[in-house]
Chain A
Amino acid sequence: MAWNRKLLRVDLSKGTCKAEPLNMEWAQEYLGQRGLATKYFVEEVDPKVDPLAPENKLIMTTGPLTGTVASTGGRYSVVTKGALTGAIACSNSGGYFGAELKFSGWDMIIFEGKSPKPVYLSIEDDKVELRDASHLWGKTVFQTEEIIKSSHQDPQIRVSSIGRSGENGVLFACVVNDLHRAAGRSGVGTVMGSKNLKAVAVRGKSGSGGALKDAKGFMAATKAAKKVLADNAVTGQGLPKYGTQVLMNVINEMGALPTRNHRDVQFEDARKISGEAMHEKRPTDGKTHLVTNAACFGCTIACGRISRIDETHFSVVNKPQYWGASGGLEYEAAWALGAANGVGDLEALQYVNVLCNEDGFDPITFGATIAAAMELYDLGILTKEQIGLEAPFGSAQALVELAQMTAQGIGFGKELGMGSARLCAKYGRPELSMGVKKQEFPAYDSRGIQGMGLGYATSNRGACHLRAYTVASEVLGIPVKTDPLVTEGKADLVKAFQDATSVFDSAGVCAFTTFAWSLADLQPQLDTACEGDWTMEKLALLGERIWNMERLFNNAAGFTAKDDDLPPRLKTEAAKTGPAKGLVNGIDKMRPEYYKARGWTPEGVPTKETLDRLGL
């Protein structure tokens, strides 16, 4: 199957569910998942809408390769206007939910309105209904999945839900599926919570709807592409063995590991929280932290981490429910909960990571918000009385307690739930929030990796590493090595990454394939699966079209060139140590070069020629 050619429209205000044919003309221009769902979204939603108003919509969407035999073909995305950012949001998740949605015969679900009471959507192929979720409200992600599976008497149901944080209005709540896979960023779970939608439970028994254009050719193309992944040292060996966490020591050595709210760029305890440390036997119980690697649906890379917390660790003493194996740590979470706050306690990080999965909040924004709070505490702006505990940089105790408060929506956890931008603004120091468009930076300091600064500043969903992962080129040499310390050439590099990633995100496959695949490896898979001619030229244009479509939405929502900027710390406070010592980020030099490369005016607005060229 490529497209099922069918979408489900759920009006939560009226309680109705209706099937609609998928707009196949749009599918030819926007492919699927991120591209196609964003097209629906921008056509149907006023850019000025309040993200938490019933008029905002939320789309769960698959790509044409989701649920196929293509490697990593299990992805789905959640598209909405982000609660954290007020910008277009598209958060991508793996696991098994996306493939199951495809098997049930739907390509996407558009949620509109707001239910008068908590509900969940149950899908069993064409049998679709909104069910009462009063008994699920107040429950964690883990409990919700268990209750739904047991009440349906079907262990094979796949569940995507919010936790308590999404109900409590934490602005960076995620939508979590399969226990520890999340559409994590920008507060897409907060929007879901605002609609009183607790969960979506899917069972797909019909298998497939639409046919593949050339089934035999598709088998050959996916087989060849899998061989590329297997033969590549990164996707064939590095990622399965060490996961993304292998980067902790790399990025620290390069002086680009943001530490203590970006005051420093190297963390003295980086090794203690690294992928290598996860492989070591603990002195306390003789077991390794890492239990095994894991794969999402159809993935032949298997980068996922499954770990077990030390039962004697202070965070889980007398809490046997946390002693089993669970998802994590991945690099982003380990950095945000660890180095960003100066916390070098691996077990504490894993515990907090499990809380993030259990109650559905983004560990990147949460960790970075703790970092901001710790800096405010360090400066004497926040006191022990206000926070409810002492919160110096490096305190694992504070991290753990504040995570519990945030998950439960109590005490200072309510303030942390706003994210760092609103927290720092409230206490009179907005410049201490380390992010762009109110979304916090991920795990790379842009003084040591210059291109990432431009990628963060211009990302359509706020600061993000997954929109233009120039780390691949600037650090790892994929596809070619570029110098991380210079700004030259980064405008074109960022644009190329942004456009190519837009295509991968619209296809139904995982971004991590791009460590081995280029568009030339994806193209034959799409061309044999999807009707129409999917040439390289068409795909290149598609990526650029999606990027510009998102930009137009943000511009209409009120964002301007001023929002494509970095916090003053990264522009004026030079890195203190490492290769980037003495450097700040050169965003003001790169931005105009980037606008030019994009065919935008100096104000960051796509010109008429650009829009005409892209058919927008």
Chain B
Amino acid sequence: MKVIFKLYATLQDYLPAEAKRTNAQTLHLEEGTTVQQIIERFALPQKLCHLVLIDGHFVPPGERGTRVLEDGAILAIWPPVAGG
């Protein structure tokens, strides 16, 4: 299955060079892959994975290990950020 994976702000350093201009890359994943497995696969520091959204909906830290990604999902992650 395909999932669009987006990393923003300082986390974009963990994307391959060709994906940086869009902050996004398409991942081909096995069924049953969880959010936490993606975080580990890309070696993202846990404390920088602050705002984790699937299709724009917040995934609380406690659900990342069990939350399974579905085909066509958009997974986007930010470090702690704010603005105004």
Residue numbers of A with Cβ under 8 A of B are 232-234, 237-239, 241-247, 249-250, 253-255, 271, 275-276, 280, 303, 331-332, 465-466, 469, 471-472, 475-478, 481, 483, 511-512, 515, 578-579
Q: Do A276 and B56 touch (CB < 8 A)?
A: no
Contacts of A247 in B (CB 8 A): 81-83
Q: Knowing A238-B79, A476-B51 touch, does A511 contact B84 (C-beta < 8 A)?
A: yes
Q: Do B78 and A244 touch (CB < 8 A)?
A: no
- The chain A residue with its CB closest to the CB of B48 is A233
Contacts of B79 in A (CB 8 A): 233, 237-238
Which of B8, B21, B81 is within 8 Å of A476, CB to CB?
Answer: B81
Q: Do B84 and A250 touch (CB < 8 A)?
A: no
Interface string of B23-49 (1 = CB under 8 A from A): 100000000000000000000000110
Q: Do B81 and A481 touch (CB < 8 A)?
A: no
- 10 smallest A-B Cβ distances: which pairs? A244-B83, A233-B80, A579-B56, A247-B83, A238-B81, A515-B82, A246-B81, A234-B82, A331-B83, A254-B56
Q: Do B56 and A238 touch (CB < 8 A)?
A: no
Q: Do B76 and A253 touch (CB < 8 A)?
A: yes
Q: Do A249 and B8 touch (CB < 8 A)?
A: yes
Contacts of B8 in A (CB 8 A): 246, 249-250, 276
> How close is B82's CB to chain A, nearest CB, in angstroms?
4
Residue numbers of B with Cβ under 8 A of A are 6, 8-10, 12, 21-23, 47-48, 50-51, 53, 55-58, 60, 74, 76, 78-84
Most central of A237, A238, A331 by chain B CB within 10 Å: A238
> How close is A482's CB to chain B, nearest CB, in angstroms?
10
> How close is B51's CB to chain A, nearest CB, in angstroms?
7
How far, in angstroms, from A477 to B36 measured CA to CA in the complex?
Answer: 20
Q: Do B51 and A271 touch (CB < 8 A)?
A: no
A-B contact pairs, 20 of them (CB 8 A): A232-B80, A233-B50, A237-B10, A238-B10, A239-B82, A243-B83, A244-B83, A247-B83, A253-B76, A271-B22, A271-B23, A331-B84, A465-B84, A466-B84, A469-B84, A472-B82, A511-B84, A512-B82, A579-B56, A579-B57
Q: Do A253 and B53 touch (CB < 8 A)?
A: yes
Contacts of B48 in A (CB 8 A): 233
How far, in angstroms, from A465 to B83 measured CA to CA in the complex?
Answer: 11
- The chain A residue with its CB closest to the CB of B22 is A271
Most central of B12, B23, B82, B83 by chain A CB within 10 Å: B83
- The chain B residue with its CB closest to the CB of A235 is B82
Contacts of B58 in A (CB 8 A): 481, 483
How far, in angstroms, from A475 to B76 measured CA to CA in the complex?
Answer: 14
Q: Do B82 and A242 touch (CB < 8 A)?
A: no
Q: Do B82 and A280 touch (CB < 8 A)?
A: no
Q: Do A242 and B56 touch (CB < 8 A)?
A: no
Q: Knowing A238-B82, A476-B81 touch, does A253 contact B56 (C-beta < 8 A)?
A: yes
> How close is A65's CB to chain B, nearest CB, in angstroms?
19
Q: Do A280 and B81 touch (CB < 8 A)?
A: no
Which of B10, B22, B47, B56 is within 8 Å of A255, CB to CB?
Answer: B56
